[in-house]
Amino acid sequence: MHDEPATETAAIETAGLSKSYGRVTVLKGIDLRVARGEVFALLGPNGAGKTTTVRILATLTRPDGGTARVAGHDVVADARRVRRVISLTGQYAAVDENQTGAENLRMMARLRRLSRPQARRRAAELLERFDLADAAGRRVATYSGGMRRRLDLACGLVTDPEVVFLDEPTTGLDPRSRQAMWRVVGELTATGVTVLLTTQYLEEADRLADRIALLDGGRVVAEGTAAELKDRVAAAQLTMVLTSTDAFEAALHALGDRVTQLDSARRSVAVATDGSAAHVRSLLDEIDPGRTAVESFAVREATLDDVFLTLTGTTKETAGV
């Protein structure tokens, strides 16, 4: 990799990043640029390359081609420097269940070469910050999933990293624990930390991310703010429930590749619309000129789910329409 100077405002930069495992190509030339202090989300179906991208940026996996820099350091040539300025929280909490929360934090601080007094102070600060002070003396084996995730993230922050990688940090958490993690991410960026987030929860990306990159098949297929990505798909979605199987099949034939989502079991089909009464009326007249084929319809604003389903290779058949 070439050690070229990074632009002043970039926390993460990749160009042509590629990676294969045997005959399977996982990344096919990823170009990303994440500004300092930004929350940047990577979205995509399973196998799209999200975790591989994070592992390369965190120096855990060596790329086959392309370049990648984190906080100005090349992830191959300057791997040690990269590790000093990053934190990685994976999909599963990596904490010692036989130790208490406070012991985990003190151990991590000592591994990062803080003195014993410094380690104690830092552990106390993080326990308070992550709402774990009351459980500081309890073994982690007794913690809930959300508490373990917060502790895991706290362990990665003992030395105030510049860049934090969160690889599906709220997977499996209940709504209350997920909200708590969202609050923590907001607090991190308020202090100037850059966060790169991968998630399966589109609501999470919509709420947290300043910008989003959508991966599919090892490539970036779309990038922008949540609002920009939604506008790229459509301002709104018209969902129609048809009165019979024949009417449903006729609607699919009439709409063709304009269909964004469908549910055969419910005889439901969705199509993009600009949201105006004139366009909605035109679509209904096209599908149901005799006013007998459409049982009901609804118009709603486009969501990241629509972006995901429209721009990735995910099938349009879904039970969520």
pLDDT tens track, the chain, 321 positions: 444 444 466 999 999 999 999 999 999 999 999 999 999 999 988 889 999 999 999 999 999 999 999 999 999 999 999 999 999 887 666 789 999 999 999 999 998 889 999 999 999 999 998 889 999 999 999 998 888 888 988 898 888 899 999 988 887 778 888 888 888 888 888 888 999 999 878 888 888 999 999 999 999 999 999 888 887 777 788 999 999 999 999 999 999 988 888 899 999 999 988 889 999 999 999 999 999 999 999 998 877 877 887 777 644 454 333
Q: What is the pLDDT of residue 5?
A: 46
Q: Would you kindly state where each structural domain of the chain is located, as residue ranges?
A: 36-64+83-229, 234-311
Specify the pLDDT at position 305.
Answer: 78
Residue 315 pLDDT: 44
Could you give the CA distance from residue 49 to residue 47 in angstroms, rounded to a whole number? 5
Q: Contact, 89 vs 155, CB < 8 A?
A: no
pLDDT at 39: 95
Distance, in Å, from the CA atom of 183 to the CA atom of 176, rounded to the nearest integer, reads 11
Dihedrals phi, psi of 4, to nearest 5 degrees: -90, 150
Identity (one letter) of the amino acid at 234?
A: A
CATH domain 234-311 topology: Alpha-Beta Plaits (3.30.70)
**What pLDDT is recorded for position 289?**
94
CB-based contact 53:165 (threshold 8 Å): no
Q: In whole angstroms, give the CA distance from residue 143 to residue 135.
A: 8
174: tokens are: 């209940």
Q: What's the CATH number for 36-64+83-229?
A: 3.40.50.300
